Amino acid sequence: MSRTLQGEQMLFKRLFPIEGELVESYNRALRKVTGMETKLSAFHVDRRGKSPEIQRELGPDYLQAGHARYMIVVSPEQAGMDIIHPEFSFDETLFENLYQNHLSGISIVTRVDGLYGELEDGLRAYSADDITGIKWTKTRLHTPSGFITKARELKTLIEQLETDPSLLVKEKSAHLRKMVALAEEVGDIRGYSITNINATRDVGSFSTTLHGGMYIIRDDGNGTIKLKRPGRRATRRESAVTGRSYVISEAEVSSPGVTHIPLNDGKQVIEFLVHNHLAGIDPSLIPARLTQMEDLMLLQAQHPVARMNKYERQQALGKERMTHMHQELLDLNRAMVYGDAVDQYDLDAGVVAALLTPIEGPHAGVVSTLTTHLWPHDYTRMAKHDPSRLETIFSGADTNTQDYIIKKLKGEEYAD
């Protein structure tokens, strides 16, 4: 089995254990949405109900049926779990809203049955152009046994009886017999608030792992974000259009009201972010980036960096040829010591990418994820904002690099 960060307990550590009766509750929900079931007697699930063990058994997309994506809830404790391999950044917000507003209802229902629901976004296909049109997301949880519907029906019958006691004897006590039959199925629900368990969220700027990564940044409708290509001013038409979506991706998009910026054109992406005050250069990152550049040079030369002490590392660096980017960072670091301002320098795009940091605002989450693509060597930042991509990088790396990534995630420094 290939080595993974999850297996090394570096990612997705908070997962809820499923065993005993909860396995059957999970399988009832899984059969309802996909027609499949797990043969495992114990496994773990995340906040959405996705299980890494079942992924290995049934496939990575087992919680999908066609283009429909689903979630499964068998315990309120899933609310505090991680999300493994999130496909859309807005999923986390939807789950938070669902658990925060309906935790008591989930606690009641999962005592007798599992819950399932489709993660709806108005799409039935996920082409790059389709994804740019997502404006909302919602889900409504159901039970395979119909518990919520039956419990609400019983609640209504109880309220009717309290209002009209004569229902006890009317039509040969048909009302009472119906109540008893429902109570045998759902139990005594008096004192509990049984409501529909659902959540709806508007979607603004967001990112997705689909199509190699897409970053959708939406103007707020006031023209506060404009496209600026390197080396020129925004045109009058671009400046006048408001409410546009700017899509940074490898995949081509041509939807109305959407401007595409190629993800592999780092210079254009950086100019867009900086021009619109979505990100800025952070000089305090220079020392850390210098260390990362040096470590990368040593890893490329196949040195066991994670096992080296400071002296061994320094000795090895003395034999390596410094890159142009490393030299530019060194020069910039010296200039900062003498009080120079970073904006005095015409920096290489790679250097800017290394020092770029999101500016607080409504787009900061998407920009944080995007910066890990522009500078994919800050593994701690990537673990927080794009863990799925970090897992992919780790799985394809050599042993020395894997050991180094683990060392960085643990926050370990070089021994003297």
Most confident residue range from 64-68, 167-171, 311-315: 311-315
Q: What is the pLDDT of residue 151?
A: 82
Encode pLDDT of 12-53 as tens digits: 989 999 999 999 999 999 999 999 999 999 999 999 999 999
Q: How far, in whole angstroms, is CA 399 from its chain's centroid?
A: 27
- Encoding tokens for residue 369? 């994820």
Residue 99's pLDDT band, with cuts at 50, 70 and 90, is very high
Please state, rounded to an integer, the average pLDDT across all residues of the chain.
89
Encode pLDDT of 379-391 as tens digits: 999 999 999 999 9
Residue range 158-162: mean pLDDT, rounded: 86
- Encoding tokens for residue 146? 């119909």
Contacts of residue 153, defined as CB under 8 A and 6 or more positions apart, other chains included, come to 182
Q: Backbone phi, then psi, for 147, in 5-degree steps?
A: -55, -45
Percent of the chain with pLDDT over 90: 65
- Contact indicator for 134, 206 with CB cutoff of 8 Å: yes
Residue written as token pair 């998009």? 253
Q: Are strands 42-45 and 206-208 parallel, antiparallel or unpaired?
A: unpaired
Tell me the pTM.
Answer: 0.86
Residue 38 region by backbone torsions, left for phi larger than 0, else alpha for psi between -120 and 50, else beta: beta
* 3 state SS of 12: coil
Q: Can you tell me the distance from the alpha carbon of 144 to that of 167, in angstroms, rounded to the nearest whole number? A: 31
Q: Are strands 258-262 and 245-249 parallel, antiparallel or unpaired?
A: parallel
Q: Where are the beta strands (DSSP E) in 5-80?
A: 16-19, 42-45, 64-65, 68-73
Residue 228's pLDDT band, with cuts at 50, 70 and 90, is low
Encode pLDDT of 240-281 as tens digits: 344 688 999 999 998 888 999 999 999 999 999 999 999 999
Q: Can you tell me the distance from the alpha carbon of 336 to that of 331, in angstroms, rounded to the nearest whole number? A: 9
Q: Can you tell me the distance from the alpha carbon of 386 to that of 89, in angstroms, rounded to the nearest whole number? A: 10
Least confident of 33-37, 341-345, 403-407: 341-345
